[in-house]
Structure 1
Amino acid sequence: MNGRAGRPEMKIIGLAGWSGSGKTTLVRKLIPALVARGYRVSTMKHAHHAFDIDKPGKDSYEHREAGATEVMITSANRWALMHEHRGAPEPTAEDLIPQMTQVDLLIIEGFKKERHDKIEVFRRAVGKPLLASEDPRIVAIASDGPAPEVDRPCLDLNDVEAIADFVVSHCGLGPARRQGAA
Structure 2
Amino acid sequence: MKVIGLAGWSGAGKTTLLSRVIPLLLGNGLRLSVVKHAHHHFDVDVPGKDSWVHRQSGATEVLVSSANRWALMHELRGAAEPRLPELLKKMSPVDLVIVEGFKAEPHRKIEVHRAANGKPLLFPGDPAIAGIATDAAVETALPVAHLDDIAAVAAMMLGSAMSLEELLARGAGES
**Fold agreement, TM-score > 0.5:** yes
Instruction: Find the residue that maps to 1:15 and give its secondary structure.
Output: strand
- Out of 85, 95, 98, the position equivalent to 1:107 is 98
Indicate yes or no: 2:38 matched with 1:47: yes
- Out of 120, 141, 144, the position equivalent to 1:151 is 141
Q: How does 1:1-182 map to 2 (within 5 A)?
A: 10-148=1-139, 150-171=140-161
- The sequence identity of aligned pairs, in percent, is 55
Task: Give me the CA root mean square deviation.
Answer: 1.3
Letter of the structure 1 residue corresponding to residue 147 of structure 2: L
1:122-174 Cα shifts (integer Å, max 9, x gaps) = 012111111101001000000012111x331111110101111222233389x
Distance in 1 between the 2:159 and 2:46 partners? 42
Letter of the structure 2 residue corresponding to residue 166 of structure 1: M
Unpaired runs of 5+ in structure 1? 1-9, 174-182
Instruction: Find the residue that maps to 1:168 and give its secondary structure.
Output: helix
Unpaired runs of 5+ in structure 2? 164-175
Aligned length: 163
Instruction: Find the residue that maps to 1:169 and give its secondary structure.
Output: helix
Deviation of 1:95 after TM superposition, in Å, equals 1.3
1:44-68 Cα shifts (integer Å, max 9, x gaps) = 0001241001111100000000000
1:179 paired residue number: none
Q: Which runs of 4+ in 1 moved over 3 A?
A: none
Q: TM (normalized to structure 1)?
A: 0.86
